[in-house]
Amino acid sequence: MTNLSTYETFIDVCRTRLTSRAFDPAQEIPREHFDLILEAARHGPSGANAQPWHYIIVTDAAKKKSLADYFVAEATARAKSKMKFPTPNYRGLETAPGLIVVVADFRYINAFPVLNDDSDLDKMYKENAMRILLQSVAASTMSAHLAASALGYGVWWVTAIGQEAAQNSLKPLFGVPDDLSVIDIMAFGAPLKAPYKRWKKSLDEIRSWDSFNMDVYVDQAGIEKWIKEDRHKVMYRDESKID
């Protein structure tokens, strides 16, 4: 049985989920909206059904400022390095009316197939278990982003970069227990500027039937070229304005 009208509604939400990096500070997010958004996160799939996630809704203005301060400082330090990654302005986190800290529980990697005997085989299983865990948290977080988008909000997915430093700065701020990790921040609200659609690969570029379509395979040099020549455009430009 197919239900195209439900699909149309769903795909519209997928297409119009747009990243914004500054939101109207005057807008108040009703408490129920946080519940509607996290209700979607709750139903995410996860390896071993471990559900290794927790979401902290941030309403305290001082905490939002400290969070933004951390990200601005980290981005400033990064800009001075030789990384050459086009960094956005993280000040928008301070005034985002919707702000949720995404917490991951990496202890659940033991819930996935691991040997725990420090052997080489165990290493391989552990790496895989880490991937299962990251994918699980992302699957849940993505549902939250789509739910926020369905409610009409602009969304912003921010990675808690700087593992140890990020953990040391952010965990005490939000009372996160030592053995858990802040993995991402989700910000949302009414965009301050009109959001725009970023470049997306075409269906032909991302899809093969039965075996990988080598016509769309990108070799290492192609990746390097894309990073050098295209990345900055696709991150911060409307796809209709890319030459």
Ligand X SMILES: Cc1cc2nc3c(=O)[nH]c(=O)nc-3n(C[C@H](O)[C@H](O)[C@H](O)COP(=O)(O)O)c2cc1C
Rounded Cα distance between 209 and 216, Å, is 12
Nearer to ligand X, 65 or 237 (CB): 237
Rounded Cα distance between 196 and 17, Å, is 10
CB 189 within 8 A of CB 152: no
**Does the footprint of ligand X cover residue 19 (CB under 6 A)?**
yes
**Measured at CB, which residue is nearest to ligand X?**
19
Interface mask toward ligand X for 54-93; x: CB under 6 A: ----------------------------------x-----
**Does the footprint of ligand X cover residue 157 (CB under 6 A)?**
yes
User: Could you tell me which stretch among 43-51, 52-60, 111-119, 151-159 binds ligand X (CB under 6 A)?
Assistant: 151-159
- Give backbone dihedrals phi and psi of 159, rounded to 5 degrees, phi first: -85, 135
Sheet containing 53-57: order of strands: 53-57, 98-104, 181-189, 154-159
We find the least distance from the C-beta atom of residue 116 to ligand X, in angstroms, to be 28
**Range list of H helices, the chain:** 4-15, 31-42, 61-80, 120-150, 163-173, 203-206, 220-229, 231-236
We find the least distance from the C-beta atom of residue 70 to ligand X, in angstroms, to be 12
> If you search the block for the tokens 């912003």, which residue do you land on?
156
**Does the footprint of ligand X cover residue 139 (CB under 6 A)?**
no
**Does the footprint of ligand X cover residue 158 (CB under 6 A)?**
yes
**Does the footprint of ligand X cover residue 42 (CB under 6 A)?**
no
Interface mask toward ligand X for 174-213; x: CB under 6 A: ------------------------x---------------
Rounded Cα distance between 110 and 118, Å, is 13
Pairing of strands 181-189, 154-159: antiparallel
Rounded Cα distance between 142 and 157, Å, is 9
Among 13, 18, 48, 192, the residue binding ligand X under the rule CB under 6 A is 18
User: Could you tell me which stretch among 49-57, 60-68, 153-161, 205-213 binds ligand X (CB under 6 A)?
Assistant: 153-161
Residues that bind ligand X (CB under 6 A): 18-19, 21, 88, 157-159, 198, 235
